[in-house]
């Protein structure tokens, strides 16, 4: 049985007719109906019926999980959900299967990797919790991205936290997007649809670099990681603006014996290059940073880094030309 509550204001007849209270009075905003005293059964019945009619909840149906085509929104999409919480796994499975998806479950990153090794082509997207025992989501994603087979496999980070630091770390690890728990099912479905469609496009039309033998920029991995091609192009061009002479700057600092400046530059460069899938630059910057931490100054390695940066910039200019770029 449903119980409805409302407020009925009773006033003397002459006061009701000559009320000095404005209609916008705060207390009146809480009143559902007004009736004069003495109260007659017919007027009370009318007031109650009218108020109940207005207060009944809407009977309009909730948003549909079925597309205009008549198929569930996630029909034929296979999803691996990775989370160390049994409740979270069951909830995700219940919600996503109701949308038509086929769901597989893993309780940590290592279990997810083991499943992928056995079923490398049986999944279209991964929902990956980032904080888990045995192997966390960051590490699992980095290991997944090392296999060319899963370059375009969309991975969505799941986290109870919404700190920008966590989101940035998830993207840097190779995840495509980030969603907070508890998630909104409609937002999650829309994100899954977007990422799986992008992955299908990339798989059908693989991206090639400007030079057949150029492996300095993994555009396919970068696109899969950033999701939107326009955003990826923007940040590739920003890399040129900010770091096209980073090798020269590093060489100058090391020539002056400024190890601290060299460490700061290589640390920043390895992070940016890794995020943008500039493989060679990221690898060389990482090696230089490790050497500098041990007090080793390698001028020739810094010069080699500059050559790799120049090669990456040529590839970027060929693939993502900028009209105001010289």
Note the pLDDT tens digit of each residue in 62-115: 444 555 556 789 988 999 999 999 999 999 999 999 999 999 999 999 999 999
The reported pLDDT for the residue numbered 54 is 54
Residues 6+ apart with CB under 8 A from 184: none
**Start-to-end CA span in the chain (Å):** 74
The reported pLDDT for the residue numbered 17 is 41
Note the pLDDT tens digit of each residue in 152-187: 889 999 887 667 777 778 887 888 888 888 888 999
Mean pLDDT over the full length of the chain: 78
Q: What is the DSSP letter of 117?
A: H
Note the pLDDT tens digit of each residue in 6-17: 555 555 544 344
User: Token digits for 71?
Assistant: 């198929």
CA dist 238 and 240 (Å) reads 5
Q: What is the mean pLDDT of residues 106-135?
A: 94
Q: Among residues 57, 59, 63, which one has the least CA distance to residue 185?
A: 63
> Confidence class of residue 147 from pLDDT cuts 50, 70 and 90?
confident
CA dist 147 and 126 (Å) reads 15
Task: Say which residue, 250 or 31, is predicted with more confidence.
Answer: 250
Q: Cα 287–171–125 angle (5° rounding)?
A: 120
What are the residue ranges spanned by the domains of the chain? 1-41, 78-204, 219-319
The reported pLDDT for the residue numbered 162 is 65
| Least confident residue range of 152-161, 210-219, 284-293 | 210-219
The reported pLDDT for the residue numbered 146 is 83
Fold classification of 219-319 is: 1.20.120
Is it true that domain 78-204 has CATH number 3.30.110.30?
no
User: Token digits for 193?
Assistant: 């649809």
Task: Say which residue, 181 or 39, is predicted with more confidence.
Answer: 181
CA dist 282 and 272 (Å) reads 8
Task: Say which residue, 290 or 102, is predicted with more confidence.
Answer: 102
Long-range residue pairs from 2-5, CB within 8 A, at least 24 positions apart, any chain: 4/52, 4/55, 4/56
Q: Is the pTM of this model over 0.85?
A: no
Q: What is the mean pLDDT of residues 201-214?
A: 46
Task: Say which residue, 294 or 68, is predicted with more confidence.
Answer: 294
Can you count the helices (H) and strands (E) in the chain? 13, 7
Inter-CA distances, 84 with 80, 127, 129, Å: 13, 12, 8
């Amino acid at each position: 049985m449903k119980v409805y509550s409302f407020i009925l204001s009773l006033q003397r007849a002459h006061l009701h007719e000559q009320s000095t209270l404005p209609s916008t009075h705060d207390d009146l905003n809480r009143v559902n109906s007004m009736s004069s005293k003495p109260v007659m059964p017919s007027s009370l019945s009318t007031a109650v019926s009218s108020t109940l009619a207005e207060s009944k909840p809407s009977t309009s149906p909730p948003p549909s999980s079925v597309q205009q085509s008549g198929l569930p929104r996630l029909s034929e999409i296979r999803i691996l959900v990775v989370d160390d919480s049994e409740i979270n796994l069951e909830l995700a499975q219940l919600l996503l299967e109701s949308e038509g998806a086929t769901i597989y479950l893993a309780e940590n990153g290592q279990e997810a990797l083991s499943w992928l090794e056995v079923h490398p082509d049986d999944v279209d997207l991964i929902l990956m919790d980032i904080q888990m025992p045995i192997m966390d989501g960051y590490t699992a994603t980095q290991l997944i991205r090392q296999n060319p087979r899963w370059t375009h496999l969309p991975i969505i980070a799941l986290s109870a936290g919404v700190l920008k630091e966590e989101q940035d770390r998830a993207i840097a690890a190779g995840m495509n997007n980030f969603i907070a728990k508890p998630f909104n099912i409609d937002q999650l479905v829309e994100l899954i649809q977007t990422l799986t469609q992008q992955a299908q496009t990339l798989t059908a039309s693989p991206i090639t670099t400007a030079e057949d033998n150029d492996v300095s920029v993994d555009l396919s991995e970068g696109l899969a990681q950033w999701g939107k091609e326009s955003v990826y192009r923007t940040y590739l061009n920003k890399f040129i603006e900010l770091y096209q002479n980073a090798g020269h700057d590093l060489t100058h600092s090391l020539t002056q014996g400024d190890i601290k400046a060299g460490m700061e530059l290589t640390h920043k460069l390895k992070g940016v290059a890794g995020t943008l899938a500039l493989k060679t630059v990221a690898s060389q910057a990482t090696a230089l940073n490790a050497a500098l931490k041990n007090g080793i100054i390698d001028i020739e390695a810094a010069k080699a880094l500059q050559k790799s940066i120049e090669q990456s910039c040529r590839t970027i200019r060929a693939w993502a030309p900028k009209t105001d770029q010289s």
